[in-house]
Amino acid sequence: MKLIDSHCHLYDFYNNGDLEKVLTRASGANVKHLVAIGTSPQDFEINCSLAKNFSNINYTVGVHPLFHGESVPNFEPYLTADKTPIAIGEIGLDYHSLPADSRDEIVAAQKNLFIAQLRAAKKCGLPVALHSREAFADTFALVAESGISGGKILFHCYGYGVEEMRAINELGAYVSFSGTITYKNAHVLREALRIANKDRLLIETDCPYLAPVPHRGEANEPSFLVHTARFIEEFFSNDCAGILDKIFDNTVQFFHLKIQ
Ligand SMILES: [Zn+2]
């Protein structure tokens, strides 16, 4: 088994001094490569330096919709750095639990930030890691308007149903499942996984959040990806042999990874 964690946040591990141990455990669990995802200008620099120091880490730059108060970032210094990002992300829309009294303003701010970053992605040609929660129609519409081709779009931590998956399949976009797919009540997700395009499927931890069963509720880390991987292997055991190799190849293809 060889795995790639297509979406992880290493900032806390780095700050707590735990990163080396976490990376050792990841390689012990066959996680060969990691994509350290940006969420705000605060973590761009750290992720860039991790990518410089560890040959099995690449990084992305992007401002998460929950940081909608941030101004539009200048990606330029990173795009011309020694170690360049492999994608723009995570960017998108998140309408979960918005306060009723400021919902419209927050939605507008998220959209502005998202549109500006989609433009930057289109301009530099990098693929896009999307964060989309309870905002599928708007996310999809803005992606379509951006003119970025489906093959450069990844819906990370898939959290929608069958209908949305059909739209994603039609667009030709990629989709990544996290440990939430292992949760007992995740029936809707599993129905969507069943019809996902196997040539566009990725997996991730989204650590330190969303640890898979049997670690649900604990702090998540890249080594736990193995549980999500085994779950998906078992899920497709009757109709798709070699799914984990396919997922590995899909990830390399989407991010244009050069794995040594
Ligand atoms: Zn994330």
Which pLDDT belongs to residue 19?
Answer: 97
**What separation in Å is there between the alpha carbon of 79 and the centre of ligand 1?**
21
What does the alpha-carbon distance between residue 186 and residue 226 come to, in Å, rounded to a whole number?
18
Model confidence pLDDT, tens digit, residues 168-201: 999 999 999 999 999 999 999 999 999 999 999 9
By C-alpha distance, which of 67, 19, 69, 77 is closest to 45?
Answer: 77
pLDDT, position 240: 74
pLDDT value at residue 247: 98
What is the pLDDT, as a whole number, of residue 260? 72
d(CA 7, ligand 1 centre) in Å: 6
CA of 129 to the centre of ligand 1 (A): 9
Strand partners, 36: 8, 59
Ligand 1 mean position, distance from CA 169 (Å): 22
Distance 204 CA to ligand 1 centre (A): 9
- Has residue 76 got a pLDDT over 80? yes
Could you tell me which of 158, 166, 121 has the C-alpha nearest to residue 142?
121
Distance 40 CA to ligand 1 centre (A): 11
Q: How far is the CA of 42 from the centre of ligand 1 (A)?
A: 14
Q: Residue 241's pLDDT is what?
A: 80
**Cα 9 to ligand 1 centroid, rounded to whole Å:** 7
Residues 6+ apart with CB under 8 A from 56: 23, 27, 32, 33, 34, 259, 260
Q: Kindly report the backbone phi and psi dihedral angles of residue 80, in degrees, each rounded to the nearest multiple of 5, phi listed first.
A: -115, 10
Q: What are 13-59's pLDDT values in tens digits?
A: 999 999 999 999 999 999 999 999 999 999 999 999 999 999 999 99
How far does residue 220's CA lie from ligand 1's centre (Å)? 12
Q: How far is the CA of 238 from the centre of ligand 1 (A)?
A: 31
- Beta partners for 91? 130
Q: Which of 145, 118, 148, 149 is nearest to 131 (CA)?
A: 118
239: pLDDT strictly greater than 90: no
Compute the distance from residue 206 Cα to the ligand 1 centre, in Å. Answer: 5
> Which whole number is the average pLDDT over 52-67?
97
Band of residue 238 on the pLDDT scale cut at 50, 70, 90: confident
| DSSP secondary structure letters along 11-33 | HHHHHHT-HHHHHHHHHHTTEEE
Query: What is the mean pLDDT of the segment spanning 136-142?
Result: 98
Residue ranges and CATH numbers for the domains of the chain are 3-255 (3.20.20.140)
Residue 133 Cα to ligand 1 middle (Å): 12
243 CA → ligand 1 middle, Å: 23
Residues in contact with 204: Cβ distance below 8 Å, sequence separation at least 6, in sequence order: 5, 6, 7, 8, 35, 156, 157, 176, 177, 178, 225, 228
User: What's the distance, Cα to Cα, between the start and end of the chain in Å?
Assistant: 16
Chain centroid to CA 110: 18
DSSP label at 81?
A: S
- Centroid of ligand 1 to alpha carbon of 53 (angstroms): 22
Give me the mean pLDDT over the 125-141 stretch: 98
- How confident is residue 259, by pLDDT bands cut at 50, 70 and 90? confident
Q: Compute the distance from residue 160 Cα to the ligand 1 centre, in Å.
A: 16
Distance from residue 32's CA to the centre of ligand 1 (Å) = 19
Quote the pLDDT of residue 199.
97
* Helix segments in the chain, DSSP class H: 11-16, 19-28, 41-53, 76-79, 103-124, 136-146, 162-171, 187-195, 225-235, 243-255
Report the separation in Å between the CA atom of 151 and the middle of ligand 1, taken as the mean of its atom positions.
Answer: 20
- 89-110 pLDDT, tens digit each: 999 999 999 999 999 999 999 9
The pair of structure tokens assigned to 254 is: 């989407």
**Contact predicate 27/3, CB 8 Å:** no
The answer to whether the predicted template modeling score (pTM) of the entire model surpasses 0.75 is: yes
